[in-house]
Amino acid sequence: MPKKEVVGTAAVLQAVERKQFTQPTGKFNSGNIGIKSTLNPVKKKVGAGQEENLKQENETYTPDQFNRAWKEFALGVKREKKDSLFTTLMSCEKTIDSNHLITILIHNSIQQTELDDCKGDLVRLLRVNLKNTNINLTYKLTEKKSVKVMDSKATFDKLAEENSSLNKFRKLFNLDIEF
């Protein structure tokens, strides 16, 4: 935009260039190799062209190949410092049916929300690595057996139900149960 300045009696037309600033991204790309980029490599997303190639793949895979792909994803999760999800992925029981449906048995709602967050990435990685687009993932919430805490009276009563001679010994020796 031209701006007029008056210098003495002569008017000088002077063009002022304004610099355009952009919003900072917070990331500095120096092109150098660093510790963070080496330890935590950037994951490449599957593009639209690669998705079309996946639609045509239905190769069979062995349980060993499946376990290797599963562990690869779990180790990636551990690198992202999501230890709870890593533990869930490594310790859960997995079953695969004939329709390539993977069923995971989980124990609580926290594991459920963590799996919901990573389900798409996990299925995508399994489909790419195993070259089978029929792979799908579901999970079942199972109840853990509750531990019942009993005091000494309740413990004795339960044992006495199983073995009636305990009551006879208690009466014979005039024993008292501590509470």
- Tens-place pLDDT, residues 51-106: 444 356 788 888 899 999 999 999 999 999 889 999 999 999 999 888 889 999 99
Q: State the pTM of this model.
A: 0.52
Asked if residue 158 and residue 114 are part of one domain, the reply reads: no
| Domain count for the chain | 2
126 and 76 part of one domain? yes
CB-based burial label for 120 (10 Å; 0-12, 13-18, 19+) = exposed
Residue 47 lies in a domain: no
For the segment 102-139, what is each residue's pLDDT rounded down to a tens digit?
A: 999 998 888 889 999 999 999 999 999 988 888 899 98
Classify strands 101-106 and 136-141 as parallel, antiparallel or unpaired. parallel
Helices (H), the chain: 35-39, 48-54, 63-79, 83-91, 109-130, 152-162, 165-172
Average pLDDT of the residues in 15-42:
63
CATH number for the domain that contains residue 58: 3.30.300
Is 40 contained in some domain?
A: no
